[in-house]
Chain A
Amino acid sequence: MPYLGSEDIVKELKKALCNPHIQADRPRYRNVIQRVIRHMTQGVDVSSVFMDMVKASATVDIVQKKLVYLYMCTYAPLKPDLALLAINTLCKDCSDPNPMVRGLALRSMCSLRMPGVQEYIQQPILNGLRDKASYVRRVAVLGCAKMYNLHGDSEVDGTLVNELYSLLRDQDPIVVVNCLRALEEILKHEGGVVINKPIAHHLLNRMPDLDHWGQAEVLGFLLRYQPRSEEELFAILNLLDSSLQSSSPAVVMAATKLFLVLAKEFPHVQTDVLVRVKGPLLTACSSESRELCFAALCHVRRILRSLPGHFSSHYKKFFCSYSEPHYIKLQKVEVLCELVNDENVQQVLDELRDYCTDVSADLAQAAIFAIGGIARTYTDQCVQILTELLVLRQEHITSAVVQTFRNLVWLCPQCTEAVCQALPGCEENIQDSEGKQALIWLLGVHGEIIPNAPYVLEDFVENVKAETFPAVKMELLTALLRLFLSRPAECQDMLGRLLYYCLEEEKDMAVRDRGLFYYRLLLTGIDEVKRILCSPKSDPSLGLLEDQAERPVNSWVSEFNTLVPMYSKACWAAISSSQVSEPHGPEPSGNGVLSASGSLVLENKEELQPLCDSGSFLLVPNGQLTAEQFEKTWLSLEVAHQEVLPWQGVAHPDTIQTALQVVNIQAIALSKAGVQPWKAYFSAQDGAGCLFLTELLLDPEPSQVHLSVKQSQAKAEALNSFISVLKTVIGTIVGIKS
């Protein structure tokens, strides 16, 4: 923002800086320089006094030097030609007897961020690496990383890298950590700094000397080290034991992650570690800093995925207090919902009930949905609480409650009756689209046991012209048609009116199409309508499939102590890939082409790497494969994998089909339920275009399922991932049946 009269200010400053009287008077001179900096930070463009500032850097006063360096670093990219003049002074300062001046000058020189500066800074950095003051060495080590970034895509300098590796043995702990940081940046295209056995052991021995930032980072680097033997592994774990008790949450979290990763073969050790960090995590959850609290809560949710009962005895820690910000309250509600067990269910429900009347509509709705989640196990209590909430006649509450009811009825059919009794009267207090859809769906599907269902729907039909949400109109059409099947006399007239409206007046194409479809369906006769519309009214198995059983610790450990628990993975992947394709600073014109192509290859490698090593095997929906194509491919391929899995009972084609659909495995053909022998064919495709064709053959006698998989490209790794996906799904289905 340009300030009024900024030109005058700059002129005045320039005059003051040139004034020999002021220059002779040190405090006054420094005062003027401070004013320049102050204006700079306020956004006034003071770059025109650059020359005078360069002159001012030739002084013995360290503060003045610091200020001038700060100024130079800010404006050097704008005035590269003038900044070259300053380099001379900086170089001279790099050999000053005072280590502080040397460090300062070196740091500023490395931060100049202008093209062509590399050739001047190389020598001072190399000198700095061998300086006897640790302060200068610290700066020089990071300077290497800065220099490399300025170069952009140039070759990695082998001797410099070796020098940095040898500095890992430096006496000063911060130099050691800075070396790791610098190497990590310089070698980022080669997978970062390599941690071999000697380095790992050296770092482990230096741990107690480091400050906690250093400890946290070293713990992060140690993740790359794979101990050779079990003995070594446990020796390392013993050595790091005290890190789990550190006063810094960052160190505790980094140590936890390291422990979990190292002990990935020993689930009982992992559980032990999680038990031990319970205390520190709970402390962080009630920390004064709300941000720490939020981060800790996100990690608690991760842990709960694997150890559902882990924090149950501490459920009171997760009660919201009035003054907390919303994002924390929402996390706490989610956590509470997962902590419920037989002993605390009453208290937790009482607490959640209190939140349902919170001033913030978001929190109130979240609490209601949380009660809905708990209702899957403790149905009666929850339905009662939800029913009581309807009395309040608040719009956002009623809407959330009805939505919860819809999901509940679908997952726990035993509560249908209670829900249906609670519904009358709700329609007056629902205004939003989601709530209306839920209510209309409930009335349509369970209309035969709700006495006034047709009359409520009639109100909706009357007001359909004023209805703004197309989704509500579609829901209304379906619901009314369904209700017509069970209570034809009461519904016939209004169904006619609604269809007439949809066909003649409705502007939204989707609604009109739906209306037309139902109209034609009705023309084919009532039996056909019944066959199409009377789908099952509930499906408890879906709920079990949805909240997967306990996931192993190893499935989330790579994401522990990263931003992922606070944000979805996909989001981060998008950011880092766009990062890679960004050009790195200005390119030197000489060998630009060669080095650019070199770096391209490296970039690709980097992009591929996370795909392979993180095990993010992804199936993409294809669905375009016809039965004929499938047959042709099937016959042309060899069986790549065969396996026999246990099975129980009869196969329900629908369940299997839905379950596999969730993971993008398409059904091609299935036998009807109960047919002997029962067979099914499926196809799937992964991100790289490899096709997987699967045959399931059910053997009723020893109750087994024979699994054969064929693959269009011979890729063992992808095949293994695919089979593990398939087995997980089949395992889940069998689990539900038993």
Chain B
Amino acid sequence: MATSTIKFCVWFLLIVFVDYGCLTSPESEAQSFFQSGHTNNWAVLVCTSRFWFNYRHVANTLSMYRTVKRLGIPDSQIILMLADDIACNARNPRPATVFNNANQHINVYGDNVEVDYRGYDVTVENFVRVMTGRLPESTTKSKRLQSDDRSNILVYMTGHGGDGFLKFQDAEEISSIELADAFEQMWQKRRYHEILYIIDTCQAASMYHKFYSPNIVAVASSQVGEDSLSHHVDPAIGVYIIDRFTYYLLDFLEKVQPTSQNSLGELFQVCPKSKCISTVGWRTDLFPRDIDKVLITDFFGSVRNVELNVTTISLEKPNRTPKEGITRSKKSQSQLKYAEQFPKYYKEDTKQVSFSLDHVNSVIWRMYLKDR
């Protein structure tokens, strides 16, 4: 008998303590909405080539731009660097458009593309400046990467590359060591929480071999010694219009919505050797989380954490003097009308105009005579 009562007491106490524990943690409500460790998302999309025959690189970048925008990252948090010489190129049979598919269904250079660095501004220097934040003070807000220690950044680069370097606009190159140093500078100032680095060039894997800063996961379209190939040619336009790796990436991303639960692990497997011909490689040793559990929307979209407002402050209504009420009503009474199209003095007599000209003339004569 005694043991059964003891058992009952123990269970009762346990239940009471468990309930007590649940009640005294108001923070646990907020915790459930904070699923990720980041609060904002940025994207840096760089197309490093120019000239008409590199149409596919521009199409790659613009397609990624569209995807990233569709999944929620606003323009103010996307830095797009393009040479932007394709849409209005004299050789473009469909002017003001850039397509990423031979069926020409989507014009990726649509109505609201905001290019932050265009033309000859796409240089290694500007890229490193954007990443490290060392821009001149006169730079506008839209050209700055204003990330903080809780920002996830997607960096996508495409163009022509080689073993340990990436060619910028046929004039200069960025080496893998410079890129790694730029990321380290960002880490020193905690300018990112996590970075996803995607690169679609020849021998792309060489660019991520030298990274040494934490929280970076990188995927490349080809290994050292391999070339990345393009997908198909559009006979109507006359150039290759999309690269294989990016084509299969976009194919996968089209099905992703802001509420999707697809993981990065799935994204890295979209292009096996049979489809991509080059071997896709990735680097996850610097990344603390398991890529099969990282959501794609952590980098490609912008799903923010929320916290419900449980308590509010109560304020008192201040005493307003009646005088201010009167001035307000006076303002609203004044009628709005169109401004005069021509300035007043223009409409008046031309005599006055000539008078003023004569006046000016006489003043000048007087000044001239004074000098003499």
Partners in one complex: no
